[in-house]
Amino acid sequence: MNGLHADSRDSIIGGVRPALVLLVAFTALTVAYTLAVTAIAMVVGPRSTADLILDPAVAATFSAPEWFHGRPSAATGGVSGGSNLGPTNPALAAAVVDRMAAVRTDNPTHTGPVQVDLVTASASGYDPHISPAAARLQVDRVAAATGLAEATVRDLVERSIERRTFGIFGHPRVNVVRLNAALRSLVATQPLPTAGGP
């Protein structure tokens, strides 16, 4: 009888040991992978990765007319996150309709389509990038609010376009934080209102 108990105990231990070893190994692999990818992204990726980690909320603070606006943010209280609303959720559809109306109100000279990145939040809520088309949509408003020539503002946007990473990954994009920093430098001789932006 004691032999049976010993065999059962050995059998259980023999079954649990590989599971524990695999758990520890895969946990270590997951942590190592995450650290390696983050390190690679910080070294070879766009510098905005570091900017975002240092001040992730800054792209969401541009709201005054003289600034280029970024994507809407669902993050609250400085905590990164999305709204978690699915594509069939009526609340998401209503939010998009409201945001489209706001974009058209803010940019009355724009008569074309409104880019999706101006009316939908990113998964993190802190994505500083918008599409070149979304930046071009705002040129008239920014030019009027800053007193700069439209051609000057348009040229600033074109020079701020970041190409695909390594020529193949991602899409052309504009970092709103950097674009507004360049805009601020361009109009340094003209005082800009600080309400609605850093």
- 29-65 residue pLDDT tens: 998 998 888 888 777 665 544 444 444 445 556 778 8
Does the structure show a pLDDT above 60 at 4?
no
In a shared domain, residues 72 and 7: no
In a shared domain, residues 106 and 54: yes
The percentage of the chain sitting over the pLDDT mark of 70, rounded to a whole number, equals 72
In a shared domain, residues 120 and 142: yes
Residue with tokens 């969401």, as numbered in its chain: 60
Q: Is residue 7 part of a domain?
A: yes
In a shared domain, residues 30 and 98: no
In a shared domain, residues 168 and 103: yes
Where is average pLDDT lowest: 37-51, 109-123, 148-162? Answer: 37-51
In a shared domain, residues 102 and 170: yes
What average pLDDT does range 170-176 have in this prediction? 90
Measured N-to-C along each axis, helices 176-186 and 150-159 cross at an angle, to the nearest 10 degrees, of: 140
Q: Residue 3 corresponds to which amino acid?
A: G
As a whole number of angstroms, the distance between CA 109 and CA 15 comes to 70
In a shared domain, residues 36 and 124: no
With cut-offs at 50, 70 and 90, classify the pLDDT of residue 156: very high
pLDDT digits (tens, 9 = 90+) for 62-105: 778 889 998 887 665 555 556 677 778 788 888 889 999 999 99
Residue 23 lies in domain:
1-44
pLDDT of residue 56: 42
Number of structural domains, the chain? Answer: 2
- pTM, two decimal places: 0.64
With cut-offs at 50, 70 and 90, classify the pLDDT of residue 7: low
Q: Is residue 40 part of a domain?
A: yes
Give me 45's structure tokens.
Answer: 């990726």
* Cα within 13 Å of Cα(82), Cβ side: 12
Does the structure show a pLDDT above 50 at 185?
yes
In a shared domain, residues 30 and 71: no
Pair 68, 129: CB distance under 8 Å: no
Q: Is residue 194 part of a domain?
A: no
Q: Is residue 191 part of a domain?
A: no
In a shared domain, residues 122 and 80: yes
Mean pLDDT of the chain: 79
Instruction: Provide the total of helices (H) and of strands (E) in the chain, helices listed first.
Output: 7, 3
